[in-house]
Structure 1
Amino acid sequence: MRLRMRLALTTAAMALPVTLVMTGLRNTVEVNARKAVLAEYALATLQAGEREHCEAAPESWSRQPRPPPPLDRKGESPPPPPPGDRPGPRLERELQLFAYDAHFTSRNPAAPPLDAKLVEALRRGEDLASRSATYGPTGPSEVLVRMPWNSGPCAFVLVKRREPRDTGMLKGLLPPADMWLMPTVVALVGVLLTLGPVVRRLRQLTGEVRTFVRSAYQGTLTIRGNDEISELARAFDEAGREVHAQMDLKEKREQTLRTFLENTTHDVMIPLTVLQGHLAELQRRAARGEPVDAAIVTAASQESHYMAALIHNLGAAARLEAGEPSLQRAPVDLNALVERCMSRHRPIARQLGVALECAVPESPVVVEGDVTLIEQAVSNVIYNAMRYNSREGHVAVVLERTPGETFRLRVLDDGPGIPESELSRIVERRVRGDTARTRGVHGHGLGLNIAWQVTVLHGWKLELGRSEYGGLQVDFLGGLTPGSRQGGEREAVGSPGMR
C-alpha cells in the first residue's frame, strides 16, 4: 500500500472516533438543554393558573398535546410565535402533562405509572429526573418535575413526550453532514497535499540509492535539510561509504593473495627444481653404490634453507601488504632475539663456510614491538649477509646501547658488498644487487624490503652502508622501552674475526 493511501486511511480512521465523541458530547448537551426546557415548561404551565385547575379536579386534569394550527387560504401553516421561555409550537404539540401527589400517585386514571428510576431519583432529593426511550439528540421522552410547593395532588408533574416515528438505532448517532463532512474532506486533502513533497523526496532518495548500489557505492547521496528523511539519506550515505571501504579492503586482500600465490609459485619453483635435481643425483649415486657426495648434500641443504626463508618472507610480505599488520606490541628482549637468530643460522653458516658471531650487552635491551616481525627482519639481514658472502667469510651481529635511551643493532660482513649507486634502491621490492645476481638466480628481493617495512612500522630506521671490513653493514636504529636497565657489553665466545 502506498504511503499516501495509508495515511489517508489512517486519517479517516482517526476521524471516525473523533466524530463519534463530538456527536456524543453534542447529544448530551442537547438532551440536557431539552430536559431543562421541558422542566421549565411544566413549572411555567402550573404557575400560569393551571395549579388551581389541577388541585380543583385532580381526577381529570391533564395537559394534552395541542392540535396543529389551521392552514391559511394558501394551504400554509401560520408563522411560529416569537421565541420565549416556552417550547416551540411543534414541541408543544407532542407534550402531555400529568399530576402526581407527594406519594407519586395520580388521581387521574389516564395518567401512566411512573418509572421506578424516576421516583427513586426524586426521593433522593433531586428536582427532576428523566428517561429516554430512544438514543440521540431528540431529547427525553419523560421528565418528572418537583413543584415548588411539594404537597397536594399536584406536587409532581410528569411531562410525557410522544415518541417520534423514526426510532432507528442509527438516528442521532451522527451529526448533520454539514458538521463533519467538510472538515473530514479538508483534513484528507491537507494530508495528501502535505505528503506530496515527502513522497517526492522519498522517491528521489530511492532512485539515488539504487543508482548508488549499481555504481558500487561510488559518489554520494543528496542530503537536504535536517529532518528524518535527511537523516535517512545521511545514514545510507555513511553505510555506502563503509561498504565501499570494505570492498576496497577486500579487493586489496584478494590482490595481496593473488600476488602472494604468484610470488610463491615463481620463487619456489626454481629452488624446488634445483633441490629435486640434487636429490635425483643422490638417488642415482645410491643406486649405483657410489659414495654420497658431500657437496651435493650441502647444496641440497642450502636450497631447502633458502625455500624455508622464502616462505617465511612471502608470508610476512603478504601480511604487510594487506595494510593490517596488526602489530602485537609487547616488550621484546633483543638479547634473546639475537641469540635465537644465531642458533637458527649457525648450521647454515657452517654449510656455507661462513663464520657467524655476535656480541650483546650484559643487561637485556628491551624494546616495544611485534617480536615475530622483528625476528623475521633480523633473520633476513643475517641470512643475506651469509648467502652473498664468500666462503670462509665472516658475519657479525652486534647489539649495543646508544645515548638517549636508544639502541643500534648492526649486521656487518666482509663480503663483496653493494655498490653505492644501488644502496638507495636495494630495499625496494624485487630489487637485488648486481653481486647477488652474479651468484645465482634464486634471490627473491624480499628480505631487505621486509626489514625496511618492519622498521617503519615500529618507528625505527634502517641504514645501509659499507662496513669497515669492506662488505655491507645494515643498522637497525630505534628507541628503548622506558625504564630499560643499562649495563656493559658482553662479547660472544670467539672474536668476529674481521679485525
Structure 2
Amino acid sequence: MLWLFSLASVLLACAVIGLGLKLRKRSAHLTYIHEKVSNILEQDTFERLLVFDSDVEVSRLLNDMNRLLEHAHLVKADYINQEKEMRNMLSNISHDLKTPLTVVLGYSETLLQSASLTDAERRVMMEKIQDKAQEVQRLIHSFFDLARLESGDRELELTRVNISELSRVKMLSFYELLTKLGLQVELEIPEKDVYVRANEEALDRVLDNLITNAMKYGADGKVLGISILHRKGEPVTIQVWDRGKGIPEKEHSRVFERMYTLEDSRNRMYQGSGLGLTITKRLVERMGGRIDVHSVPHQRTVFSFSLEEILHENGSHLT
C-alpha cells in the first residue's frame, strides 16, 4: 500500500513539475509576444510574430495576431495611397480651376478698365467669360457627382434598358462633332435589340464619357466605334474603341484613378477634369457591372464594360 502511495506522489510531483515548466514556457512566449508587438507598434515596422509549434493555443493566437497585423498593414497602405491620391487630386483641382478663373478675371478686368472697346470686342470677351465660367461649373459638378457616388448617397434604380437603341442615339448626338473631327463611325450592333439591367441616365452618361474620351485622345486614328457583344447566357459587353495614339501598357491600371490624366491631357487642347473615367467606373460598378481597358497604340484602344442581360419586360431571364 505504501508503494502505491509513493508512486502516486512521484506521479503527482512530475505532473506539477511538468505543469510548472509548461507555464514557464507559456509565460516566456507571452513575454515575447508583448515585447514584439510593442516593438512593432513603436517602430511602425511590417514585421510578423514567430509562430511556436509546440503550443497549439499560443500558435493559434500568434496566427490570429499576424492576420490582424497584416490587415492593419493593408489598411495603412491603403490610407497612404488615398492620402497621396488626395494630394494629387487637390493639386489638379487647383490647376484646373485656376486656369479658367484666370481667364475670367483677365477679361472682366479688361471690360471694366477699357472704355474704348467696341461692342463686338466686348461681346467676344463676354462669350469667353461665359465659356470659362461654364467650364468651372462642369468641373465642380464632376467633383460633387464623384463624391456622391463614392459615399453611396446616390441611389440608382435599375430597369430594363435597350442598350442597342441607346448606343445608336448617343452616337447620333455626336454626329456634328465627329464630322468636324473627320472621324469615321463604325457600329457593330446586333439587328435584334439587346436589353440590359441598368439605370438609363447613368448608362447614357457612361457612353457619353467614353465617346468623349475617345474623341479627345483617339481622334488621330480617324475611326471611332461602338460594338455590342452578345452571347446567350452571358453578360452583354459594350465596347467603345478607336485607333488613336492609345494608352501605354504601364498606364492601363491607372486610367480609372481619380484625377489621373495622361501627360498631354494637361495641355488645353485636351482639357479634362481627370474625373470622367473615374465616374464612369463607379457608375458601371453601381449597376452591377465591370469595366476594363485594353490598348495597342495606333491599332485599337478599347474601353469595354459588361452588364447583366434582361430578356423579358418583367425583368426576368429567358428560361
TM-score scaled by structure 2?
0.57
Q: Pick one of 36, 41, 54 that aligns with 1:208.
A: 36
Aligned CA distance change for structure 1 residues 424 and 460 (closer, same or farther; 3 Å): closer
Aligned CA distance change for structure 1 residues 262 and 385 (closer, same or farther; 3 Å): same
Structure 2: how far apart are the matches of 1:463 and 1:370?
28
Aligned counterpart, 1:299: 128
Gaps of 5+ in 1: 1-181, 413-417, 468-472, 486-499
1:458 counterpart = 2:297: no
Structure 2: how far apart are the matches of 1:231 and 1:328?
44
Structure 2: how far apart are the matches of 1:249 and 1:217?
16
Aligned counterpart, 1:481: 308
Structure 2: how far apart are the matches of 1:332 and 1:262?
40
Structure 2: how far apart are the matches of 1:256 and 1:319?
18
Residue 465 of structure 1 and its aligned partner are, at CA, apart by 8.5
Q: How does 1:133-148 map to 2 (within 5 A)?
A: none
More helix per residue: 1 or 2?
2
Aligned counterpart, 1:274: 103
1:239 counterpart = 2:71: no
Q: Pick one of 417, 423, 443 that aligns with 2:246.
A: 423
Residue 341 of structure 1 and its aligned partner are, at CA, apart by 9.8
Contact preservation (8 Å) 1:314, 1:446: no
Structure possessing the higher radius of gyration over alpha carbons: 1
Q: 1:279 is aligned with what amino acid?
A: S
Aligned counterpart, 1:222: 50
Contact preservation (8 Å) 1:378, 1:451: no
Aligned CA distance change for structure 1 residues 365 and 308 (closer, same or farther; 3 Å): farther
Residue 388 of structure 1 and its aligned partner are, at CA, apart by 9.2
Structure 2: how far apart are the matches of 1:384 and 1:278?
30
Aligned CA distance change for structure 1 residues 236 and 319 (closer, same or farther; 3 Å): farther
Identity in percent: 15
Q: How does 1:284-323 map to 2 (within 5 A)?
A: 284=113, 291=119, 293-311=122-140
Contact preservation (8 Å) 1:313, 1:446: no
Contact preservation (8 Å) 2:143, 2:275: no
Which digits, 9 at most, give the CA deviation of each residue in 1:188-214, with x for residues without a partner? 974644422222122122112212222
Aligned counterpart, 2:6: none
Q: Pick one of 245, 248, 251 that aligns with 2:77.
A: 248
1:196 counterpart = 2:44: no
Structure 2: how far apart are the matches of 1:271 and 1:432?
19
Contact preservation (8 Å) 1:368, 1:481: yes
Q: 1:247 is aligned with what amino acid?
A: K
Structure 2: how far apart are the matches of 1:305 and 1:389?
25
Aligned CA distance change for structure 1 residues 243 and 396 (closer, same or farther; 3 Å): same
Counterpart secondary structure, 1:245: helix
Contact preservation (8 Å) 2:218, 2:246: no
Structure 2: how far apart are the matches of 1:452 and 1:216?
37
Contact preservation (8 Å) 1:268, 1:307: yes
Residue 221 of structure 1 and its aligned partner are, at CA, apart by 0.5
Structure 1: how far apart are the matches of 2:157 and 2:57?
44
TM-score scaled by structure 1?
0.40
Residue 475 of structure 1 and its aligned partner are, at CA, apart by 6.0
Structure 1: how far apart are the matches of 2:303 and 2:29?
60
Gaps of 5+ in 2: 1-8, 313-319
Aligned CA distance change for structure 1 residues 484 and 305 (closer, same or farther; 3 Å): farther
Q: 1:482 is aligned with what amino acid?
A: E
Structure 1: how far apart are the matches of 2:137 and 2:168?
19
Which digits, 9 at most, give the CA deviation of each residue in 1:428-487, with x for residues without a partner? 6533669x95xx4673583786599678972455679889xxxxx9765555633448xx
Structure 2: how far apart are the matches of 1:389 and 1:239?
46
Structure 2: how far apart are the matches of 1:466 and 1:451?
26
Q: 1:206 is aligned with what amino acid?
A: H
Q: How does 1:54-453 map to 2 (within 5 A)?
A: 190=17, 192-216=20-44, 218-224=46-52, 225-284=54-113, 291=119, 293-311=122-140, 330=158, 333=161, 334=163, 335=165, 365-367=194-196, 377-383=206-212, 401=228, 404=231, 422-425=245-248, 429-431=260-262, 437=267, 440=268, 443-444=271-272, 446=274, 450=278
Structure 2: how far apart are the matches of 1:331 and 1:338?
19
Counterpart secondary structure, 1:223: coil
Q: 1:270 is aligned with what amino acid?
A: T
Residue 372 of structure 1 and its aligned partner are, at CA, apart by 8.0
RMSD over equivalenced CA pairs, Å: 5.8
Q: How many residues align?
A: 274
Structure 2: how far apart are the matches of 1:388 and 1:305?
22
Contact preservation (8 Å) 1:212, 1:218: yes
